Structure 1
């Protein structure tokens, strides 16, 4: 079947509709002031983390090359003071952002991918497949995810990869239940029955119809889950299960170092507050963006 020259192809029409939907979604998102503030905060933090090798010297992370005094208070040379070995707290905070954000993003993508696959398969195939997958999901929901993450981090070799794996493999059940509920709603719609009647197989229905309709919910859940993953990484690092390499610090390992060095007793507030405030700002920013996206994608929330 040939398409007339004056008419766009079906693929061009599809991309045009997607562009129009994206534009309408962005206009609605721009009306959410909290979402714009959160997006701006995230842009600044991510930009600083990316530019850390450009605006700072990584050699300053080496304790043998520290140039400051022990727990020196903030000054023009060290804007956020120094830690016990004499390293700049500002330098540590910037480089820690790279590790914390990386772990948060990658662990969230892993958990959301697992939850999405399990949720779609459970809702699409039903019967014993749904029963088996949901029993596994309920098992992980009953057990505390932090305890499971601690167990995995203890058994496996310490490092960034272990933390990502521990968080990703223990935080997917909530995403699976959300995706399953959304998939059941989508598969009850008439166009799914029409696709099956026309000979569409399981892969076609899932990839062409179910997954595109589920992706907005997955995207919102991903935005909200990144903050939780960063908090989980900070908790594991604070408990001493993070990366042991001092050249790869995170906000959690900074809090652990401040606690071990008795920063509170010594009155070195500049050693303790920056990583804690950074964690709070990032989690708040992701939450603000996620809530704004919920309002954009859910008309009932937008009307409220």
Structure 2
């Protein structure tokens, strides 16, 4: 029996084989979606660029060149995306800026997702006054535009990439809570959960051991689709000077420094803008593909 036959077996002999087989079927379904694979490719390139930035970048992103001869140079074979007003190589700064972007995306996902899951599943499982209080708090956060609320938190915490991550995470969890609550409401009264209760399992164990795993697929899709919004919010904070601070190569801050030269030296602001657009597009395409694959109500 080949590995493929073992993974696609209709009669798995172990839980491990069943899980690996389901993951492999999901991958086969995702692979049929060309746009999703394009999005996955963009995300993989972003990750590899962040990991191997020291190898890929031809110049130091922090060191200024000769201001008399290397300032605001147009794209060429020496400087693929030109140089900025401090004679720094824009391509090198974009490559190193991928680390900042990936850090923000990863940290926001790691902070906001558990908060949203905890609030949503708790509200949906217990209902009553617990549901009312938690959802009203969620509604308060949803009442404000994400960027405006993030600006308020960053203004209170102070500028910096760490505070920007915290601010974006605080504003990102409410949609996940709403989604997790909706999923929990359809799960909590099923025979499966009733049987677990009859076995004597307590509420925290039921929520985290059985309800949360059933909500994960929908939340993962929503998180992936939200990555583009997170990147744009981080870039917006950087553009306003409240995110990563100079000389850190952050794409939003690079656009802000290049807006003064947009007419005569268009590449200074355009190149980081293209980077933001491509990465945001990649996460959106990947999220759409995952939604088609992981949606339990969709056709397989």
Fold-level similarity (TM above 0.5):
yes
TM-score where L is the length of structure 2: 0.91
Match runs of 1:85-234 below 5 Å = 85-234=86-235
Paired residues in the alignment total: 288
Gaps of 5+ in 1: 1-11
* Match in the other structure for 2:261: 263
Deviations 1:73-112 (A, max 9, x none): 1122111110001011111111111101211221133222
Deviations 1:208-253 (A, max 9, x none): 211111111121112111111111000111111122230x221101
Q: Indicate the SS of the match to 2:55.
A: helix
* Match in the other structure for 1:250: 250
Q: Structure 2: how far apart are the matches of 1:300 and 1:192? A: 20
Q: Indicate the SS of the match to 2:14.
A: helix
Q: Structure 1: how far apart are the matches of 2:132 and 2:285? A: 35
Q: Give the C-alpha shift of residue 157 in structure 1.
A: 2.6
TM-score where L is the length of structure 1: 0.90
Runs ≥4 in structure 1, deviation > 3 angstroms? 57-60, 63-68, 299-303
- The answer to whether the Cα contact below 8 Å between 1:109 and 1:222 also exists between their aligned partners in 2 is no
Q: Structure 2: how far apart are the matches of 1:66 and 1:179? A: 54
Quickly say closer, same or farther: Cα 1:68–1:225, change in 2 above 3 A.
farther
Q: Structure 2: how far apart are the matches of 1:68 and 1:94? A: 23
Q: Structure 2: how far apart are the matches of 1:155 and 1:132? A: 25
Q: Indicate the SS of the match to 1:63.
A: coil
Q: Give the C-alpha shift of residue 263 in structure 1.
A: 1.5
- The answer to whether the Cα contact below 8 Å between 1:68 and 1:88 also exists between their aligned partners in 2 is no
Q: Give the C-alpha shift of residue 302 in structure 1.
A: 4.1
* Match in the other structure for 1:281: 278
Quickly say closer, same or farther: Cα 1:51–1:66, change in 2 above 3 A.
farther
Q: Structure 2: how far apart are the matches of 1:145 and 1:31? A: 34
- The answer to whether the Cα contact below 8 Å between 2:159 and 2:244 also exists between their aligned partners in 1 is yes
Q: Give the C-alpha shift of residue 201 in structure 1.
A: 1.1
Quickly say closer, same or farther: Cα 1:299–1:170, change in 2 above 3 A.
closer
Q: Give the C-alpha shift of residue 207 in structure 1.
A: 2.4
Q: Indicate the SS of the match to 1:124.
A: helix
- The answer to whether the Cα contact below 8 Å between 2:161 and 2:245 also exists between their aligned partners in 1 is no
- The answer to whether the Cα contact below 8 Å between 1:72 and 1:81 also exists between their aligned partners in 2 is yes
Q: Give the C-alpha shift of residue 177 in structure 1.
A: 0.3
Q: Give the C-alpha shift of residue 144 in structure 1.
A: 2.0
* Match in the other structure for 2:37: 36
* Match in the other structure for 1:272: 269
Q: Once superposed, what is the RMSD of the aligned Cα atoms?
A: 1.8
- The answer to whether the Cα contact below 8 Å between 2:104 and 2:234 also exists between their aligned partners in 1 is yes
Q: Indicate the SS of the match to 2:76.
A: coil
* Match in the other structure for 2:4: none
Q: Structure 2: how far apart are the matches of 1:271 and 1:57? A: 17
Q: Structure 2: how far apart are the matches of 1:42 and 1:62? A: 28
Quickly say closer, same or farther: Cα 1:151–1:194, change in 2 above 3 A.
same
- The answer to whether the Cα contact below 8 Å between 1:96 and 1:251 also exists between their aligned partners in 2 is yes
Q: Give the C-alpha shift of residue 281 in structure 1.
A: 0.8
Q: Indicate the SS of the match to 1:178.
A: helix
